[in-house]
Structure formats: C-alpha cells, structure tokens
Amino acid sequence: MLTKKGAATRQRIIEAAADEIRDHGAGAATLDDICRRSGTGKSQLFHYFPEGKEQLLLAVAEWEAGQVIEDQQPYLGRLTTWEAWEKWRDVVVRRYRRQGVHCPLGVLITEIGRHTPAAQAVTRQLLEQWQRQVQAGIEDMRESGDIGRDVDPVRASAALIAAIQGGVTILMSTGSADHLEAALDLYLDYLRGGVPVPG
C-alpha cells in the first residue's frame, strides 16, 4: 500500500514517462530522461518499478488507457439524453482529430508486444470499460423510451466500439476523420430509429 506521497511520486514518474514517450517514442525514452523529467532519482524509480522499464511501460499504458476514457467525460459517463450523445460524439471526433496519426497507447502496446498477455489485458480492460459506459447509456435511453426496446444494448454497444475503433484506425493511416464521423453519425441515426425506410 502506497502512502499518499508515494502514490503522487509514482504518478509523477508515470506522467513524465508518458510525456517522454510521446516526444521521443517508447524505444528512445531512457530511464535517465524519465528521472530527469520527473525530478526523481533512479533509486526512487526502482522503488516504485522494481522490474524497471518494462514494468513502467505497462503502468504508462494503463494510464494512457485511462486517459482515453477520461477525455470523453463527463459525456460518456452519462449518455442519458440525445444532447449528451451529440456532445460526446463531438468530443470523440475532436479528441482523435487532435491526436492525428500517432496514438500514444498504440505505441506502448506495440512496444510491450501486441500479443503479450499484459498488453492484451490493457486493451481488453479499456474496451470493456468503454463499452460498459456506452451500454449503460443505451439502457438508460431505453428505460426513458428514447431508444426502442428492440435495440440490444450489449450488441449495440459492441458495434459502436467497433465503429469508433475502425474510424480511429483509418484516421491514423489516412489523417482524415471522415470515416470516424460517418460511422458515429450513422450509428446515432440507428439508435434514434431515424433510418429511412425503403420505398
């Protein structure tokens, strides 16, 4: 159990490492640079991360994953009106536009090793947390009658997470947010039940 001061120091190291990695890449970021940036000594760093860089990278990945969710608040956590859904949609597009072609979390996952259990756990937890909050929003809107009872919250939230993930992946390879925006808009149309019926 860390003291309050200990937790703050650990967090300062993590955020300094995150900045260092954003600036120079995960491979080039050295423990010396991270110590300098966070104003901590190397023995302090090894106190909090006894296994060294690998353990620190994982902590940074967990923190970056948390930021993905954090950046979407307060909207993602209370998708209880169409206004909240629209604002959340705009926040997501703006966030990923600003991020552009370089994903800090993706860099870390690649460095840790995409197929390692540790990296997969970080990715899985992020997806689950994200999807759970979308699902809660759909359930609330079903309760209030704004979303039809036949929309399955589990499958519909899974589809939305896929749509965002794909839009972001395409943005990262093309630099354009068109696919992300189209996917989000079409999805909101679907939820609203406002789909043009043939004929």
Q: Which two tokens stand for residue 177?
A: 């947010």
Please give the backbone phi and psi of residue 168, each rounded to the nearest 5 degrees, phi first: -70, -40
Residue 155 interacts with a second copy (CB under 8 A): yes or no: yes
| 196 sits near a second copy (criterion: CB under 8 A) | yes
> Does 140 participate in binding a second copy (rule CB under 8 A)?
no
Check binding of 178 to a second copy (CB under 8 A): yes
Q: Is 198 in the site for a second copy (CB under 8 A)?
A: yes
Burial class (CB in 10 A: 0-12, 13-18, 19+), 61: buried
Q: Which residues of 133-158 are buried (b: 16+ CB within 10 A; e: fewer)?
A: bbbbbbbbbbeeebbeeebebeebbe
Counting Cβ atoms within 10 Å, is residue 81 exposed (0-12), middle (13-18) or buried (19+)? Answer: middle
DSSP class of residue 76?
G
Applying CB under 8 A, the span of 48-56, 64-72, 83-91, 118-126 interacting with a second copy comes to 118-126
Shortest Å distance, C-beta 174 to a second copy: 6
In whole angstroms, the minimum distance from the beta carbon of 109 to a second copy comes to 8
**What residue ranges bind a second copy (CB under 8 A)?**
101, 114-115, 120, 123-124, 127, 145-151, 155-156, 158-159, 161-170, 173-174, 178-180, 182-183, 185-187, 189-190, 192-193, 195-199
